[in-house]
Amino acid sequence: MSEQQVSDFYSQQPLPNDLGRVHFIGAGGAGMSGIARLFAEKGCVVSGSDRSDSDNLRAVEAAGATVWVGHDAAHVHAADTVVVTSAVHLDNPELQEAASRGVRILHRSQALAWLTRGHRTIAVAGAHGKSTSTGMLITALQVLGHDPSFVNGAIISQLGTNAHLGTDDLFVIEADESDGSFLRYATEGVLITNIDTEHLDHYGNAAAIEEAFVTFAATAQRFAVVNGSDPLTRSILPRLSAAARRLVTFGDAGDGNDVELVSFTAAGWHSHIEVARHGAASVDDEVELIGRHNAVNAIGVATVLAELGFDFAEALLAAGRYRGTARRFDRQGEIRGVTVVDDYAHHPTEVAAVLRAARELVGAHRVIAIFEPHLFSRTRDHAREFVEVFEQWADLVEVVDICAARETPIPGITAAWMAEQARGDGVRYAPSWDAAVDAVVATAQPGDVVLTLGVQIYGILPRLMERLHG
């Protein structure tokens, strides 16, 4: 179906104060579950369904909603409003029933925008690091004594949730750029972590992606904070500056940013950073963060907080106390001296950041990874980039079969084909998850870090941990 056919389902009218009984199709999704829970907590009558059961779906039920596993047209018979995501196919029986009955249909972003009404909204967007930066901004505000409302795309480890109705007037959201829906929010400020040529199935070309981020910066009523060292973001800084009411850049020293990371030193599970701000004293501090990329994220978050009126040094220290987002450099434990870490990374830029952080952590020891490619198209388009990242930052990578997700196989594009792109024997194809575990267990030594990288590879963790125990 075309983008126009999809958008034609969504209500184009101003949203009423009362949406009536609200049904969520795909209520177990990472973002949808949080939104559905907040609707229930606000006193709305909520129902939801998903194709499979999950902890997220049960959390929606625990908030007071009626939930079903599986999709059925009967689920929407009592609904006044139906909320969907771009991932819901147009042949979904609940969506088809709602459309045929003339029920109000909202995109997930419209429902989230409804929740944020009357709040000072801060939206975080970017190809990589937005869930981490959103979670870091939320927890920093809490450390600074505030109680913001929020919806994040992943569970915030130290809070155990991805959504909350706070008592403050601030509302922090992760804004999804994948389908252009991040342009639907009325914001006070925005944070752009970076831009990449992802989601071409929606945008068509890189120029359209760039234009969307320029528009995103223009939506902010007060300020846009952007990573001025990210190559693609940097290339459109003049356009971002012209669009934003106030543009503040952060990033590496030497790139002309307003806020600069002067130095970064890994110190085990902590880091030492020095940050310089134009016209202000430098800040020299120890933070509870792993990896240089997270130090840059913290600087971006502290810059947003400074724009909101907080002291920058206190804001940076608060951001530095962030303990992570579920499945983002998520430490699973240490077994016989081997540290196991799980991460959602599935794009070359993300994988490079995670492996580099692991390399900084292990020192003279080794970085070993099990990588699950995500999507045949991404594997086809980025295979050589992935291999170059593996060869630069890892000692051994076992590549397992591709997670197809929504795609059908592409002839010749396999995990084995990806591994064959490597020049040495440090990148290998594992024909099964068990084979990958066997290879890792036979190789790992005390002091090494073993990482699982990918969207669904976390399912390998129980057998990996059990085998490492011996």
pLDDT digits (tens, 9 = 90+) for 379-438: 999 999 999 999 999 999 999 999 998 788 999 999 999 999 998 889 999 999 999 999
Task: Let me know if the fold of 3-107 is the same as that of 118-319.
Answer: no
**Residue 103 pLDDT greater than 70, yes or no:** yes
Crossing angle of the two packed helices 376-393 and 348-362, in degrees rounded to 10: 20
Higher pLDDT, 306 or 268: 306
Tens of pLDDT, residues 144-173: 999 999 999 888 888 888 899 999 999 999
How many angstroms separate the CA atoms of 302 and 58, rounded? 35
Average pLDDT in the 119-128 region? Answer: 94
Q: In this structure, which CATH number among 1.20.1050.10, 3.40.1190.10, 1.20.1260.10, 3.40.50.1110 belongs to the domain 118-319?
A: 3.40.1190.10
How many angstroms separate the CA atoms of 452 and 397, rounded? 10
pLDDT of residue 355: 93
How many angstroms separate the CA atoms of 419 and 117, rounded? 49
CATH number of 330-469: 3.90.190.20
Higher pLDDT, 420 or 200: 420
- For the record, the structure tokens of 370 come out as 């099990």
pLDDT-based confidence at residue 7 (cuts at 50, 70, 90)? low
Give the fold, CATH level 3, of 3-107. Answer: Rossmann fold (3.40.50)
pLDDT-based confidence at residue 442 (cuts at 50, 70, 90)? very high
Across-strand partners of 330? 342
pLDDT of residue 266: 79
Q: How large a percentage of the chain has pLDDT more than 70?
A: 96
Q: Round the average pLDDT of the chain to a whole number and report it.
A: 90
DSSP state letters, 57-111: HHHHHHTT-EEEES--GGGGTT-SEEEE-TTS-TT-HHHHHHHHTT-EEEEHHHH
Higher pLDDT, 186 or 291: 186
Average pLDDT in the 85-92 region? Answer: 84
Which sequence spans correspond to the domains of the chain? 3-107, 118-319, 330-469
**Residue 80 pLDDT greater than 80, yes or no:** yes
Q: Would you give the DSSP letter of residue 15?
A: P
pLDDT-based confidence at residue 287 (cuts at 50, 70, 90)? confident
pLDDT of residue 202: 66
Tally of CB atoms within 10 A around 466 = 12
pLDDT-based confidence at residue 10 (cuts at 50, 70, 90)? confident
**Residue 441 pLDDT greater than 70, yes or no:** yes
pLDDT-based confidence at residue 244 (cuts at 50, 70, 90)? very high
pLDDT of residue 8: 63
pLDDT-based confidence at residue 78 (cuts at 50, 70, 90)? very high
Burial class of residue 142 (count of CB atoms within 10 Å of its CB; 0-12, 13-18, 19+): buried
